[in-house]
């Protein structure tokens, strides 16, 4: 019978080629990937059997088997798991990476296949790193027919009916011939295979069986040995979370992280919890090192694997993690949870709530320890996920701000690095009343903000807010250890300068008419025009009154269906600057010129803030006017 050859989806094909041709240093991980899949498939049938009376569960009949046939160069990984239907073979193995990752790949230039594997972990397809062709024979639970999926890589694949007695999946790899520099024979050596399984898959909870050549004394002889094949279970099978922490090394946790494919980076930190208080559970949690490519998208789904007495009942239990810790990966196993619990019931489960609360506090304290003892690693973490913590401060009207505020870091104007709020407070001179901050799109831009001049001159430290969420989070926080936050660009700065203040007030009163005139020239664009108490060398700046600042206005304006909300802006003039004399002069002698100057200053202030100029043509015309009229 001629079987139609189907093509991989175009994107899959390119990925596959890249992978096959990539010089992947750890080819051996293909075995881990296939064994993990097999183990997952057994988990699924195991769970089904426990909750479905029509299936009889017999522990001994669930296992994974790895068999090598050196002469035929065949390596087989078989399992008694749930199996795949024809449709599942097609949809699971016919497309490589998920659509999200493909879209991502289009946007970013990824040069070599290595990164692809690193980023997405293409699981099953890693088989093509060591095999010329792969055959999958599978019979799904509840189905009469088995199907054979076959592919020799980039060319495409075929699917046809076949026969298989038992439910489960059998994957056979035709191992590549050795190349000049590549040794593939090792993947046909039982001892080598056993070592690879020990290294990566020791904690797999189902038996991994192998046939290992052995020898024993011949019966009746004291010197003669005979060769025979012994079937061995090669993994220890005790799940890692049931082990004693003292028996485990960092490498064990790392191997578990990779075996579980929680991420394709190395975990930055692991947290192993064995709780036997009000609720009994074991958990292994990981803080990843890198931000997953889809982390800040809608597609990202938070959650931990949930086991009930060793049986996986949910892949991603979102209720176990607050959104601001959504980057945490790992699993929870508890005997206290009922097995056939539905998603809806789980949400209201008291035990689960207790576990979630417990986990939340554990993560917080581990992060705090990391911050205290391993600052550099903490900063790596913060670069990847700090934004999410700030989001947590802001979310739910600051419900968890107390938990999170000590974990925040901001760039400091004086330290020139990231600092905590506690460190800032610790450095505050006695006469400083507020925690000052300035917002802008980058550190460079904030550094040049005229509004910050006076505060900086006093020697006060300023925190730089460059993330769009920063100001929103701080508005919710309002204060830290009883010190209020103050934006250098809004309201009264609270600098204790009585003498200067009186002088400013006098000048302000003296020129009240001038400022009123300027305000009427600008109309609704500003709330008022006044003398600045924060400028030293610059002639002009914009500040705001009220809650909404200019940076917040910009962020809101960039949002879909924005309401076009505007900050209440104040045009501040430096009375010590020479332009002030020009303003006074034109107010008295030439009103038209006052109009010109006022508009120019306003537009300059907009430019400094990075705000758009409504009428750039008028602005340039105005500048030309100044260039051609003799100065006042
Ligand atoms: P991943 O495991 O990351 O989803 P894979 O490419 O390794 O990606 O596998 C794709 C899917 O194929 C799996 O999610 C699973 O549904 C199915 N699958 C793979 N191997 C097996 C197996 N041995 N038994 C049953 N289903 C399997």
Q: Is the dihedral of CA 476, 481, 484, 489 positive or negative?
A: negative
Domain annotation covers residue 291: yes
CATH number of the domain within which 53 lies? 3.30.565.10
Do residues 306 and 331 touch, judged by C-beta distance below 8 A? yes
Question: Which domain does 476 fall in, by range?
Answer: 409-494
Same domain? 140 vs 286: no
Domain annotation covers residue 387: no
Q: Whose CA is nearest to atom 14 of ligand 1?
A: 92
Beta bridge partners of 485: 435
For helices 190-201 and 29-51, what crossing angle results, to 10°?
60
CB of 485 within 6 A of ligand 1: the answer is: no
Q: Compute the distance between CA of residue 473 and CA of residue 483 in angstroms, rounded to an integer.
A: 16
At 260, the pLDDT band (50, 70, 90 cuts) reads confident
Do residues 321 and 356 touch, judged by C-beta distance below 8 A? yes
Same domain? 547 vs 471: no
CATH number of the domain within which 535 lies? 1.20.120.790
Q: Model confidence over 484-543: pLDDT tens digits?
A: 999 999 888 888 666 666 777 788 888 999 999 999 999 999 999 999 988 989 999 999
CATH number of the domain within which 435 lies? 3.40.50.11260
Domain annotation covers residue 392: no
CATH number of the domain within which 281 lies? 3.30.230.80
At 438, the pLDDT band (50, 70, 90 cuts) reads very high
Dist. CA 164 → ligand 1 center (Å): 19
Longest dimension (CA), the chain: 126
Beta bridge partners of 274: 282
pLDDT tops 90 at residue 429: yes
Same domain? 486 vs 501: no
Pairing of strands 225-233, 208-217: antiparallel
Q: What is the pLDDT of residue 58?
A: 74
Same domain? 161 vs 113: yes
pLDDT tops 90 at residue 105: no
Same domain? 529 vs 549: yes
Q: Model confidence over 149-192: pLDDT tens digits?
A: 999 877 788 999 999 999 999 999 999 999 888 899 999 999 99
Q: Whose CA is nearest to atom 20 of ligand 1?
A: 37
pLDDT tops 80 at residue 62: yes
Distances (CA, A) of 55 to 38, 141, 470: 19, 10, 55
Same domain? 290 vs 416: no
**Three-state DSSP state, 616:** helix
Domain annotation covers residue 582: yes
Same domain? 488 vs 504: no
Domain count, the chain: 4
Q: Compute the distance between CA of residue 630 and CA of residue 465 in angstroms, rounded to an integer.
A: 43
Of the residues 323, 358, 374, the one at which a domain ends = 374
Q: Model confidence over 365-389: pLDDT tens digits?
A: 999 999 999 999 999 999 999 999 9
Same domain? 537 vs 475: no
Domain annotation covers residue 389: no
CB of 438 within 6 A of ligand 1: the answer is: no
Domain annotation covers residue 431: yes
Same domain? 80 vs 218: yes
Q: Compute the distance between CA of residue 241 and CA of residue 284 in angstroms, rounded to an integer.
A: 6
CB of 169 within 6 A of ligand 1: the answer is: yes
Domain annotation covers residue 399: no
Same domain? 462 vs 506: no
CB of 38 within 6 A of ligand 1: the answer is: yes
CB of 116 within 6 A of ligand 1: the answer is: no
At 338, the pLDDT band (50, 70, 90 cuts) reads low
Domain annotation covers residue 4: no
pLDDT-above-90 percentage for the chain? 60
Q: What is the pLDDT of residue 110?
A: 38
Nearest to 28 by CA among 192, 203, 150: 192
Of the residues 352, 374, 396, the one at which a domain ends = 374
Beta bridge partners of 6: 157
Same domain? 128 vs 75: yes
Distances (CA, A) of 58 to 44, 55, 419: 14, 9, 58
* Maximum average pLDDT range among 23-37, 69-83, 237-251: 69-83
Q: What is the pLDDT of residue 303?
A: 95
485: exposed, middle or buried (Cβ count in 10 Å: 0-12, 13-18, 19+): middle
Q: What is the pLDDT of residue 107?
A: 40
Half-sphere exposure of 537 (CA within 13 A, CB side): 7
Rg (Cα) of the chain, in Å, rounded?
34
At 209, the pLDDT band (50, 70, 90 cuts) reads very high
Q: What is the pLDDT of residue 344?
A: 58
Of the residues 374, 390, 419, the one at which a domain ends = 374
- pTM equals 0.74
Same domain? 246 vs 132: no
Q: Compute the distance between CA of residue 55 and CA of residue 596 in angstroms, rounded to an integer.
A: 87
**Average pLDDT in the 320-335 region?**
95
Nearest to 169 by CA among 345, 258, 36: 36
């Amino acid at each position: 019978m001629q079987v139609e050859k189907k093509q991989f989806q175009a994107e899959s094909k390119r990925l596959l080629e890249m992978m096959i041709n990539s010089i992947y240093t750890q080819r051996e991980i293909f075995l881990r990937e296939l064994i993990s899949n097999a183990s997952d498939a057994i988990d699924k049938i195991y769970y089904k059997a426990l909750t479905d009376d029509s299936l009889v569960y017999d522990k001994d009949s669930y296992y994974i088997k790895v068999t090598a046939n050196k002469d035929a160069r065949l390596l087989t990984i078989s399992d008694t798991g749930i199996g795949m239907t024809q449709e599942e073979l097609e949809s699971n193995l016919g497309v490589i990476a998920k659509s999200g990752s493909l879209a991502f790949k289009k946007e970013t230039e990824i040069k070599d296949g290595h990164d692809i594997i690193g980023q997405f972990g293409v699981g099953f397809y890693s088989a093509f790193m060591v095999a010329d062709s792969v055959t999958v024979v599978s019979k799904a639970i509840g189905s009469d027919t088995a199907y054979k999926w076959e592919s020799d890589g980039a060319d495409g694949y075929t699917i046809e009916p076949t026969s298989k007695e038992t439910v489960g999946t059998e994957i056979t790899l035709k191992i590549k011939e050795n190349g000049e520099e590549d040794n593939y024979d090792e993947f046909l050596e039982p001892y080598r295979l056993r070592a690879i399984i020990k290294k990566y898959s020791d904690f797999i909870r189902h038996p991994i069986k192998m046939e290992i050549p052995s020898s024993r004394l011949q019966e009746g002889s004291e010197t003669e040995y005979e060769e025979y094949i012994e079937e061995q279970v090669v993994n220890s099978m005790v799940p890692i979370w049931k082990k004693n922490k003292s028996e485990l090394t960092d490498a064990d946790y790392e191997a578990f992280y990779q075996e579980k494919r929680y991420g394709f980076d190395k975990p930055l930190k692991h947290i192993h919890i064995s709780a036997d208080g009000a609720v009994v559970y074991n958990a292994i949690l990981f803080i990843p090192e890198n931000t997953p490519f889809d982390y800040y998208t809608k597609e990202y789904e938070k959650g931990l694997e949930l086991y009930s007495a060793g049986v996986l009942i949910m892949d991603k239990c979102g209720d176990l993690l607050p959104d601001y810790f959504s980057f945490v990966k790992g699993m929870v196993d508890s005997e206290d949870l009922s097995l056939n619990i539905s998603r809806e019931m789980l949400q209201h489960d008291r035990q689960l709530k207790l576990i979630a609360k417990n986990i939340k506090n554990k993560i917080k304290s581990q992060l705090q320890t990391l911050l205290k003892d391993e600052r550099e690693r903490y900063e790596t973490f913060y670069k990847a996920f700090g934004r999410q913590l700030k989001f947590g401060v802001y979310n739910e009207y600051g419900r968890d701000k107390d938990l999170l505020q000590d974990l925040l870091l901001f760039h400091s104007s004086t330290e020139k690095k990231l600092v905590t709020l506690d460190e800032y407070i610790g450095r505050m001179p006695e006469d400083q009343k507020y925690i000052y901050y300035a917002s802008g799109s980058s550190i460079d831009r904030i550094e040049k903000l005229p509004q910050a001049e006076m505060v900086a001159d006093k020697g006060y430290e300023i925190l730089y807010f460059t993330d769009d969420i920063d100001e929103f989070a701080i508005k919710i926080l309002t204060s830290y250890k009883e010190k209020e936050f103050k934006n250098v660009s809004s309201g009264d700065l609270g600098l204790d300068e009585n003498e200067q203040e009186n002088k400013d007030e006098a000048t302000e009163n003296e020129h009240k008419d001038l400022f009123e005139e300027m305000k009427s020239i600008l109309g609704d664009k500003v709330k008022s025009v006044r003398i600045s108490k924060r400028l030293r060398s610059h002639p002009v700046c914009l500040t705001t009154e009220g809650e909404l600042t200019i940076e917040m206005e910009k962020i809101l304006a960039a949002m879909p269906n924005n309401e076009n909300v505007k900050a209440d802006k104040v045009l501040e003039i430096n009375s010590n600057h020479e332009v002030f004399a020009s303003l006074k002069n034109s107010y008295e002698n030439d009103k038209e010129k006052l109009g010109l100057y006022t508009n120019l200053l306003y537009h300059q202030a907009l430019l400094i803030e990075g705000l758009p100029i409504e009428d750039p043509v008028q602005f340039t015309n105005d500048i030309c006017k100044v260039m051609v009229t003799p100065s006042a």
